[in-house]
C-alpha cells in the first residue's frame, strides 16, 4: 500500500515537472491609463490615450474617435464623433499589443537606467505564443509603476517601431469611457450611439 502510494506521488510529481508552464501576460494586468506615442521611420508620431478596466481597453484615437477592445471576447467597437458606433475587427494598435500578448515569457536583463525620472529596468522579452510566431522586443519597465513599461522597441515587417508611455494614472479611469455605450451593436452593423462621452486631458 505504502509503495503503491509512493509510486503515484512520484508519477504525479513528474507529470507536474514535465507539464508546460501556463501562459502569462507580458505586463501587469491592473487598471491604469496612460498616453501612448507610437513612432517609426516611415510614420509621424501618433499620440493616443489608452486605459484598461477589467477586460476592456479603451483607446482615444486622433480626431476625437474612440476604440474599445474586449480581451476576453475579442470584440471591438469604434465610436465616431458623428455619434455612430461601429463593430469592427479585433485589431489592436501596435502600441497596445504588448499588453495583450500572452504566452511563455522569457526575459533577459540588459541593464538599468533612468527614463523620465523613473528608475527603469531594461529587458529583452521573448513571447512564445501557441500556433503563432514568437515576438521579441526590448522594454524599459518601471518598478515604481508595478512593472509597467515606459518605452518599447521592436521590429515589425514594416521596420522598427518605438512606443513611449507617459502620464500613467494607476487607477481605474473615473471619467474615461471604460466600455462602449450600450447602444453599440454586437454585430458588424452600424448603430447610433446615444451617450455623450466624457474625456480627460
| pLDDT score, position 186 | 56
| pLDDT score, position 192 | 39
Average pLDDT over residues 21-44: 83
CA 166, CA 58: separation in Å to the nearest integer?
16
| pLDDT score, position 13 | 43
pLDDT at residue 200 tops 50? no
Average pLDDT over residues 55-75: 90
Average pLDDT over residues 85-103: 90
For 60-64, 129-133, 182-186, 187-191, which range has the lowest pLDDT when averaged over its residues? 187-191
pLDDT at residue 9 tops 50? no
For 8-22, 128-142, 145-159, 163-177, which range has the lowest pLDDT when averaged over its residues? 8-22
Q: Where are the beta strands (DSSP E) in 19-74?
A: 24-25, 32-40, 43-53, 56-60, 66-70
CA 39, CA 75: separation in Å to the nearest integer?
26
| pLDDT score, position 3 | 52
Average pLDDT over residues 88-103: 90
Average pLDDT over residues 164-175: 81
Q: Quick one: CA torsion of 94, 200, 85, 68, rounded to 10 degrees? A: 40
| pLDDT score, position 69 | 93
Which of 152, 150, 151 shows the shortest CA–CA distance to 136?
152
**Residue 51 near residue 68 (C-beta atoms within 8 A):** no
For 26-40, 150-164, 179-193, which range has the lowest pLDDT when averaged over its residues? 179-193
| pLDDT score, position 36 | 95
| pLDDT score, position 41 | 75
| pLDDT score, position 185 | 61
Residue 145 dihedral angles phi and psi, to the nearest 5°: -105, 20
| pLDDT score, position 63 | 84
Amino acid at each position: 500500500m505504502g509503495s503503491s502510494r509512493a509510486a503515484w506521488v512520484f508519477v504525479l510529481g513528474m507529470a507536474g515537472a514535465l507539464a508546460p508552464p501556463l501562459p502569462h501576460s507580458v505586463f501587469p494586468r491592473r487598471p491604469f491609463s496612460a498616453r501612448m506615442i507610437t513612432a517609426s521611420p516611415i510614420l509621424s508620431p501618433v499620440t493616443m490615450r489608452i486605459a484598461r478596466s477589467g477586460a476592456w481597453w479603451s483607446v482615444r484615437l486622433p480626431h476625437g474617435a474612440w476604440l474599445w477592445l474586449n480581451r476576453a471576447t475579442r470584440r471591438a467597437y469604434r465610436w465616431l464623433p458623428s455619434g455612430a458606433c461601429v463593430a469592427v475587427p479585433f485589431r489592436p494598435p501596435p502600441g497596445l499589443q504588448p499588453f495583450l500578448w500572452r504566452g511563455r515569457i522569457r526575459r533577459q536583463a540588459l541593464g538599468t537606467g533612468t527614463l523620465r525620472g523613473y528608475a527603469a529596468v531594461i529587458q529583452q522579452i521573448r513571447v512564445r505564443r501557441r500556433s503563432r510566431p514568437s515576438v521579441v522586443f526590448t522594454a524599459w519597465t518601471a518598478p515604481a509603476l508595478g512593472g509597467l513599461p515606459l518605452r518599447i522597441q521592436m521590429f515589425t515587417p514594416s521596420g522598427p517601431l518605438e512606443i513611449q508611455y507617459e502620464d500613467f494614472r494607476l487607477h481605474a479611469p473615473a471619467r474615461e469611457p471604460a466600455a462602449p455605450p450600450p447602444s453599440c451593436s454586437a454585430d458588424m452593423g452600424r448603430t447610433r450611439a446615444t451617450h455623450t462621452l466624457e474625456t480627460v486631458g
